[in-house]
Chains A and B, each alone.
Chain A
Amino acid sequence: MQRLIKWFVITTFFAPAMSMAAAKIDAIAPDFTLQDSYGKTVTLSDFKGKYVVLEWTNHLCPYVKKHYGSDNMQSLQRKYTQQDVVWLSVISSAKGKQGHVDANKANDLTKTRNASPSHVLFDESGAVGRLYKAKTTPHMYIINPEGKLSYAGAIDSIKSANPADIPKATNYVVSSLTNLLAGKAINKKITKPYGCSIKYKS
């Protein structure tokens, strides 16, 4: 009974309150402010008028390595930042957990991996990750120029850690952005993400 009450309290009182704010497809994406790897404060709503990609990442996760080791993620970052899309890599790993890095280490990773995100953002508390219900690394989100969430889910269609699968898979970020930039609708607005669990503060 105790558990029942607890669950109901959580799901019925917090969940609606949270879900009002939480990310939902085709609704205004929840705003947030985080520090980037250069100490700059970055606020999502500042990018209104542009497409924004959110990429949850953890450089030690094999699924992230799959996409960085093959230059897949970086090439997407280069391709879309050149087209005036804002690319935000978010790290929600808690202090002491896998993937948690300081600013220097983050910049070092960007340099050595030849990555081109617009910003690398730190979400140590996991608040933004929870707001977006981010579950895995990688977990991808696309926000349209009006600030609405257009896509949330996996980076591509083959759930594996094997880089050999990348060419065989449909990349959902590419297919979604291609359609969006051409003014067309996306057919899969939401997919189940795959990867390592985000190493949230427990």
Chain B
Amino acid sequence: MIKDIFGTDNCMVKLIFIFLLVFSCGGFAQNSATGPHIEVSLVSETSQLSIGKTHWIGIILNPEQGWHTYWLNPGDSGEAPKIEWHSDAIEFGNIQWPIPKAIEVAHLVNYGYEGRTLLMVPITLKEQSLPHATIKADLSWLVCKEDCIPGWAKLELDLPIVPTGQSIDYSDHQALFEQTRLRLANKPFIEAKFELSESHIALQMAWPYQSNWQIFPFRGDVIQHNAAQDWTQSQDVAQLVLPLSDYFSSQPDSLKFLLSDGGSGYYVNALPNSPDFIRTDNTASKPIWVILVFAFLGGLILNIMPCVLPVLSMKALALSSTECKSHWGYPLGVIISFWLFAAVVISLKAAGSAVGWGFHLQEPLLIAALAFLFTFIAMMLWDLLPPSVNMSGIGHSLTQGSSFFSQFFTGVLAVIVASPCTAPFMATALGVAMLSPAFETWLVFTALAVGFALPMTLLPMSSHFAKLLPKPGAWMETFKHFLGFPMIATVVWLVWVFLSQTSSMGQLWLLSGLLLFALFIWLSSKMGRPFSYIFMLMAVGIATLSSMKGTHITSDDQQLGSDQFSEQKLSQLRNENHVVVVNMTADWCITCKVNEQVAFKDDALKALFEEGDIDYLVGDWTNKNTTILNYLKQYQRSGVPLYIVYAGNHSKQILPQVLTPEIVIDAIYEARKEINNATSN
């Protein structure tokens, strides 16, 4: 039998081994056992237990000098110790793993412990009636130097139980428990982001403080354990790019790590990195009804937002002065508008494009249109409109009065003007909606709509609510004039947003347009027919012209030493036989940032770029755009980073996703050589 298991080699050693195994596994369980090169024991921090308190017990692993045991992830080889607890009276918590160290064996790396290590476990007593509690542990371990020896032991500990309130004595091992607490990692988890490329994983987190940090993954199949961990830092965040493990297969929802500088440790929870506008942070875990309640409350709050209040106040004033027949126009208008919005969001999402509330605000043309709309409303509030477009928002007949349709369109208008205010206040609910299945998105939008529509629907419905409305009078005029200012405030904000999307020249176009628009409308109000109509048309004309013109003057703000990417520019430079380096990047891409720090800030590379025959084109995909998406698709990529070096029209090299200055420099030399060869032939 013995021969069968162990072969014929080193029979004597094996016999001793067997003896020790039998000894430690044997029937006479006790609180300690000895295996080859290791002693193990089951100990308690206190000499007694009492109910209602968390007590600590633990397993001491005490290998010989030079031998080691393993952490929860043993690394390239090895095995973490396993404990199976048995006790009728006790509930056991999880092992509190002390901070491990990386142990190198040839070119492989293990994570484990040298020297005496205590694996602490919290316990609570379930039953007090017993005089004492028996704790049994089935322990298995692996102890290694270079060679490894597994071991098993059944350990047992008997502790008296004392009544609640009675004092408890510490055991002889209390000091070891205290020492071990200093070797545990800090909780809670540090938040981090991870990003996967074809062969690498990039991590980004804020360090607790500056130190020589190393990460230990909980899972054994994430990183190549023997890769050197060289961090880069930009501002307050640190990034690390590591080669992916050969065994890495599935795309995880989150990855856990331990961050340690040898002295202290922090647990890290890394979530997939995604563009800022689709990140959910902690909202994803909230149940749907909480989100719906928030959406409803958010809808209510929207009624008093500066961009909505004036429209609704006007409407309320109108309602208080006229008798109202139909109550359902307004809420229907609101709800249908929100549904339309939900439909757009759902279909855009289905089309594969990640969108966020306010995504229509990323389109400068819409910003310009909203600026004109709000200017128009302000002028209306200041009674600067021609009599033909009196008081209402968009046309007298649409929103003015109390017919079903006028109410319906007041609802629609309210939703449109509400949208600039929504983004900052509704981020949570909408963030979830954007990432949720279609039905949940629809629910969130509906809750939002109901909340939004409720006050103005209730107002005319009952005389009780109607009594709450102030009596009409001259003060209404004054109040109306005042409401024009929040409108202009919104215009100011929109014009500011417009600048960041276009350029100062574009903003000048928009501001001039707004000025002429206001002038023409004022002129229109001063003139009789047909001039009134002509000026009105001119106002619309100037609004259209200036928003179009302004939008097309896009930002010329570029990174130093680089040009903004465009297909035309690329093909022009290639035709001119230049070496062209294309860098497709985005602010939210961790790998891109690391590459820009490590490779593109290199002095040798910078010097090379200054030599003149090399052009550096940067495409910024921070906000999605089709030019870059099409370019990425040409290279079968769906995301950044992408680095390509062109040798004129002769050839191109796709560089790896993780760069060094040398890779870029070599690619440039290669491209240069190719161009020289081609021209000399």
Contacts from A to B (Cβ < 8 Å): 3-4, 6-9, 11-13, 15-16, 59-63, 65, 68-69, 97-98, 108-109, 112-113, 130, 133, 135-136, 152-153, 159-162, 190-202
Pair B8/A11 contact, Cβ less than 8 Å: no
Pair B227/A11 contact, Cβ less than 8 Å: yes
Return the chain B residue nearest A159 by Cβ. Answer: B79
Interfacial chain A residues near B221, Cβ < 8 Å: 192
CB distance from B403 to the nearest CB of A (A): 65
Interfacial chain B residues near A15, Cβ < 8 Å: 243
Bound complex: CA A3 to CA B230 (Å): 8
Pair A162/B106 contact, Cβ less than 8 Å: no
Bound complex: CA A107 to CA B152 (Å): 32
Q: Is B150's beta carbon under 8 Å from chain A?
A: yes
Bound complex: CA A108 to CA B82 (Å): 35
CB distance from B82 to the nearest CB of A (A): 8
Which residues of B, 78-120, contact A by the 8 Å Cβ criterion? 78-79, 82, 105-108, 110
Interfacial chain A residues near B656, Cβ < 8 Å: 12, 16
B142-179 near A? 1/0 per residue, CB < 8 Å: 10101111101000000000000000000000000000
A/B interface sample: 18 pairs, CB < 8 A: A7-B227, A7-B230, A11-B227, A13-B662, A15-B243, A62-B149, A65-B7, A69-B6, A161-B150, A162-B150, A190-B247, A192-B247, A194-B79, A196-B148, A197-B110, A198-B108, A199-B146, A202-B107
Bound complex: CA A97 to CA B78 (Å): 17
B3, B221, B246, B660: which has the most chain A beta carbons within 10 Å? B246
CB distance from B73 to the nearest CB of A (A): 10
CB distance from A113 to the nearest CB of B (A): 6
Contacts from B to A (Cβ < 8 Å): 3-10, 76-79, 82, 105-108, 110, 140, 142, 144, 146-150, 152, 220-221, 227-228, 230, 243, 245-247, 249, 656, 658, 660, 662-663
Bound complex: CA A63 to CA B660 (Å): 40
Indicate whether A136 sits within 8 Å of B76 (C-beta atoms), given known contacts A65-B5, A197-B105, A197-B108.
yes
CB distance from A194 to the nearest CB of B (A): 7
Main secondary structure of the interface of A (DSSP, over half): mixed
Pair B7/A98 contact, Cβ less than 8 Å: no
Pair B7/A12 contact, Cβ less than 8 Å: no
Main secondary structure of the interface of B (DSSP, over half): loop
CB distance from A76 to the nearest CB of B (A): 17
Return the chain A residue nearest B219 by Cβ. Answer: A192
CB distance from B667 to the nearest CB of A (A): 12
Bound complex: CA A108 to CA B3 (Å): 13
Return the chain B residue nearest A69 by Cβ. Answer: B5
CB distance from B36 to the nearest CB of A (A): 11
CB distance from A50 to the nearest CB of B (A): 25
Pair B142/A161 contact, Cβ less than 8 Å: yes
Pair B150/A135 contact, Cβ less than 8 Å: no
Indicate whether A65 sits within 8 Å of B6 (C-beta atoms), given known contacts A161-B142, A195-B77.
yes
Interfacial chain B residues near A192, Cβ < 8 Å: 220-221, 245, 247
Return the chain B residue nearest A164 by Cβ. Answer: B152
Interfacial chain A residues near B148, Cβ < 8 Å: 61-63, 196-197
CB distance from B104 to the nearest CB of A (A): 9
Indicate whether A191 sits within 8 Å of B247 (C-beta atoms), given known contacts A61-B148, A197-B78.
yes
Bound complex: CA A108 to CA B662 (Å): 52
Question: What are the 3 A-B residue pairs with the smallest beta carbon separation, nearest first?
Answer: A161-B150, A69-B5, A197-B77
Pair B147/A196 contact, Cβ less than 8 Å: yes
CB distance from A199 to the nearest CB of B (A): 6
Indicate whether A200 sits within 8 Å of B227 (C-beta atoms), given known contacts A60-B147, A69-B5, A98-B147.
no
Pair A153/B140 contact, Cβ less than 8 Å: no
Bound complex: CA A69 to CA B228 (Å): 38
Pair A190/B246 contact, Cβ less than 8 Å: yes
Pair A161/B230 contact, Cβ less than 8 Å: no
Interfacial chain B residues near A198, Cβ < 8 Å: 77, 106, 108
Pair A98/B146 contact, Cβ less than 8 Å: yes
Contact of A135 among B7, B77, B227 (CB under 8 A): B77
CB distance from B473 to the nearest CB of A (A): 76
Return the chain B residue nearest A191 by Cβ. Answer: B247
CB distance from A190 to the nearest CB of B (A): 6
Bound complex: CA A61 to CA B416 (Å): 72
Pair B106/A201 contact, Cβ less than 8 Å: yes
